[in-house]
Amino acid sequence: MFEFKIKVTDKKTRARLGEFLTPHGILTTPSLAFVGTQGNIKLLNANEVYRSGMELMIVNTYHLWVNNKVAEIQRAGGIHNYSGFKGIIMSDSGGYQVFSLGFRQLHKVGKITKMFPGKINYGFDKENVIKISDEGVFFKALDGKELFLDAKKSIELQEKIGADIIFTFDECTSPLNSKKYTREALKRTHTWAEISKQIHSKKNQALFGIIQGGSYKDLRQYSAKVIKKIGFLGYGIGGSLGKTKRDMLAILDWVVPLIEEDKPRHLLGIGGVVDLFNGIERGIDLFDCVIPTREARHGVVYTHYGRYDLRKLKTKKQVLEKSCLCLACRQHLTAAQLYVLYKSADFGEKILAQKYLTLHNIYFFSELLKRIRSAIAEKNFTKLKKIYSVYYQ
């Protein structure tokens, strides 16, 4: 049902071009999943997603579960029917919410410390809504209800959701957690990985095991060995990913050589332009990231000549990018026109602008990944990286 074939291997780096056979088609890698937390990309309907050229989406087990969507998905016959997305779908296990709803709020950091610098007010209270034990995690939902999620429950939910690629339930730690704590969390992650594998029975879903261990070399390497030994169809490399980007790359250099060549590797939650090149260069095949869609809603435009705040393009009387085939660029909507819509007092017009930017950014990242795949095939990945490094640092 699943098979990962490596087509081309880069001679200078660990980059490779691959094909991952799934029940919903062949996924050529490297690839990036766009995040559709509750089964849909925010602001887009299924038709728009289809026409955007999106190939891979990741949905979120925690949010589907908390918002009582799972039964509805089952009734629809699975997440593909429910979402209307015909491509390949992954589901996150809920392990990230252990961090995003817990330590991230207490520590005020991202998976890489510098990601959330300074004092950010997220608009919701800072009390810890998470209680972690060796058995699983208690989440306090927005309505105050307490929910319990563990490996067994996560896999059961993910089987009901029915994505093509699913993940083991893990504990995503904070970069500010001590080594002692990270080691304890890692032990839980490994236990939960074993349980996840035992529970998982659906043959039409590929279960990926998640490697954790923070930014500690021995823990990361130990985790890679443990997860490899349990045996999965692919690997997820999860946060925390250290204090700087350099730490993140070091983690990849420690872990990737310890896992099999012929299995796909997914760097969880990462997907900035520079990160894609750096990850692929170190042997990563899959990414997922909220950046393209979230930043679109916040007015950021990605182009092959750099990343721009729409505000800076307000006088530009041309499309966002000439070569782009997204809905906005195809309709010859200029940056200036999009800016007017984006700043409109009319809420509907603002949403329309955000929708256009979302489609544009999805198109950009899809196209970028295509170019990367071609470059690997044509043996000039390093050259392509150099080209983009002019506009993206």
Partner RNA sequence: GUGGCUGUGGUGUAACGGCAGCACUAGGGCCUGUGGAGCCUUCAGAGCGGGUUCGAGUCCCGUCAGCCACC
Contacts of 328 by beta carbon, 8 Å cutoff, 6+ apart: 319, 320, 338, 356, 357, 359, 360
Which of 46, 78, 84, 116 contacts RNA by CB under 7 A? 116
Which of 22, 52, 60, 196 contacts RNA by CB under 7 A? 60
- Shortest distance (Å) from residue 168 CB to RNA: 8
Identity of the amino acid at 32: L
Identity of the amino acid at 12: K
**Omega before 30 within 30 of 0, i.e. cis:** yes
Q: Is 253 a catalytic residue?
A: no
Q: Which of 10, 92, 150, 170 is catalytic?
A: 92
SS3 206: strand
Q: Is 211 in the site for RNA (CB under 7 A)?
A: no
Q: Is 52 in the site for RNA (CB under 7 A)?
A: no
Whichever of 160 and 343 has its CB closer to RNA, that residue is: 343
**262 exposed, middle or buried (CB, 10 Å; 0-12, 13-18, 19+)?**
exposed
User: Residue 251's closest CA among 229, 221, 285?
Assistant: 221
Contact mark string toward RNA, 328..347, x via CB under 7 A: ---------------x---x
Whichever of 193 and 323 has its CB closer to RNA, that residue is: 193
Q: Is the dihedral of CA 190, 192, 196, 197 positive or negative?
A: positive
Q: Is 269 in the site for RNA (CB under 7 A)?
A: yes
**Sheet strands side by side (includes 146-149):** 130-132, 137-140, 146-149
Which of 182, 293, 337, 366 contacts RNA by CB under 7 A? 293
Q: Could you give the residue numbers annotated as active site?
A: 92, 288
Residues lying near RNA in the complex (CB under 7 A) are found at 35-37, 41-42, 58, 60, 62-63, 92-93, 95-97, 99-101, 105, 110-112, 115-124, 129, 140-142, 167, 170, 172, 210, 236, 238-239, 245, 268-272, 275, 288-291, 293-295, 297-300, 309, 311-312, 314, 343, 347, 350-351, 354
